[in-house]
């Protein structure tokens, strides 16, 4: 019976993720919340978009150790196209370039990192996919992930070069390859995500 339950759970998870990745945020839902969104100006100034920013970590310093504090959280600024890793007091620990959803496609509000994550997906209907995806809403619908890839797994240069400059996703939060990989491997399930 345990094998049956495990197999059933895996099939259900695969179906949910497949359906979610098909949409990757194409339907929008909005929620609002009041949060402290204080940003560290010096941290913002040090992270600027460049043509090849999508290949590198957004900052030259090490990523924060998320295991040291369960109170660290992710602050996504749609206006600035940035993701800030903040501590409990709101101090910016790390700043990442991002590209959020065009046409107001990224949901606003408070969410949490969910257990669904993976190394790669491809959506045949939108003819794009991404690497290092991590769900933050609707269990596989809204994700943090790398800049997009085509069916062959090659990065889409036009979109990649716009990282941190333009909101051009279907609703997910696009990141540089190393930044997406870090969130995927180091940000614990349950971490707060505030999007405004």
Catalytic residue positions? 145, 172
| Among 148, 141, 137, 150, residue whose Cα is nearest residue 191 | 137
Give the position of tokens 């390859």.
177
How far from the centroid of its chain's Cα atoms is residue 99's Cα? 9
Report the distance separating Cα 57 and Cα 182, nearest Å. 9
Q: Which two tokens stand for residue 48?
A: 């600027």
| C-alpha to C-alpha distances, 41 to 53, 70, 83, 88, 167, nearest whole angstrom | 20, 24, 14, 18, 21
Token couple for 173 = 């939060």
Q: Which long-range contacts (CB under 8 A, 24 or more apart) does 87-94 make?
A: 90/36, 90/37, 90/38, 91/40, 92/39, 92/40, 92/43, 92/44, 93/64, 94/43, 94/58, 94/59, 94/61, 94/63, 94/64
Tokens of 169: 């996703």
């Amino acid at each position: 019976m345990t094998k049956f339950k495990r197999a059933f759970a895996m099939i259900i998870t695969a179906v949910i993720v497949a359906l979610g990745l098909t949409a990757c945020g194409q339907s929008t839902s909005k929620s609002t919340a009041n949060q402290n969104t204080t940003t560290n100006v010096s941290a913002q100034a040090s992270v600027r978009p460049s043509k090849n920013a999508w290949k590198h970590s957004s900052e030259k310093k090490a990523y924060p150790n998320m295991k040291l504090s369960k109170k660290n959280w992710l602050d996504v600024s749609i206006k600035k196209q940035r993701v800030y890793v903040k501590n409990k007091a709101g101090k910016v620990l790390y700043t990442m370039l991002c590209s959020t959803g065009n046409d107001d496609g990224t949901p606003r509000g408070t969410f949490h990192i969910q257990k669904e994550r993976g190394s790669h997906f491809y959506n045949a209907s939108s003819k794009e996919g991404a690497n290092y995806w991590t769900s933050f809403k609707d269990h596989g619908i809204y994700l943090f992930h790398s800049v997009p890839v085509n069916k062959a797994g090659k990065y889409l240069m036009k979109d990649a070069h716009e990282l941190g400059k333009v909101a051009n996703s279907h609703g997910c939060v696009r990141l540089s390859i190393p930044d997406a990989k870090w969130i995927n491997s180091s940000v614990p399930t349950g971490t707060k995500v505030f999007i405004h």
